[in-house]
Amino acid sequence: MRRLLPALFALLAGLCLAKGVSGPEVARILNELGYEASLETESGNGYPLIFLQTGKISALLIFYNDNPFSEGFEALQLGTSLNFDPPPSLEGINAWNARNRFGKAALMEDGQVMLVADLNLDPVCDLKRSLSTFVEDFESSVMIFYGEYQVGRIR
C-alpha cells in the first residue's frame, strides 16, 4: 500500500501537467462554451490572438509563453478597454485594484480604462472548465467595475 500511494499520486500529477495550449484549441473550446471566439494568427509577436464576445463584453485574449522550450502557450491574458466620461481618477483605479483580485485596472493616457486578468495554465487538469471560469470571472469583474463607476464608488 505504501508503494501504491506514491505511484498513484505521480500518475494523477502527470494527468495535470501542462503541455501548453494552442490558439486553435482555445478558440474551439471557447466556441463550444457558447462564446464567439475569432482566432487571429498574426500578431505583432507572432503569437495568436482571440477576439472574444461573451454576450456582455468584448475582450481580447492574448497568449504568452514564458518557456521557449515547451510546446504551446503557458499563460493567457484577457483584456478589455472601457470608456468613461469623465474618466476615473488614478486614485479610483488604485482603490479598485486594492479591493479586487480577479481583474486589474489601469488608467491609460487617453483616459481609457484597461481591465486585464491572467490565467496560468501550469498545471491545468480541465482546460474547458478553467477557461469557462476564467471568462466568467473576468466578465463579472468588468460588469462590477462598470457598476461601481456608475454609482460613484470609483471616481
pLDDT, position 57? 93
- Over range 54-82, report the average pLDDT: 86
- Over range 118-139, report the average pLDDT: 89
Q: Which of 9-18, 86-95, 96-105, 126-135 shows the lowest mean pLDDT across its residues?
A: 9-18
- Over range 9-21, report the average pLDDT: 55
- Exposed, middle or buried: residue 107 (CB in 10 Å: 0-12, 13-18, 19+)? middle
Helices (H) and strands (E) in the chain, counts: 4, 6
Domains and CATH numbers, the chain: 4-150 (3.30.1460)
The per-residue pLDDT for range 40-67, each reduced to its tens digit, is 976 677 788 999 999 899 999 999 876 6
pLDDT higher than 60, residue 14: no
| Whether pTM exceeds 0.85 | no
The per-residue pLDDT for range 98-126, each reduced to its tens digit, is 998 888 999 999 999 999 999 988 767 88
Of 74 and 79, the structure prediction assigns the larger pLDDT to 79
120 DSSP 8-state letter: E
Q: Which three cell numbers stand for residue 98?
A: 486594492
3-state helix, strand, coil in the chain (%, to 5): 35, 25, 40
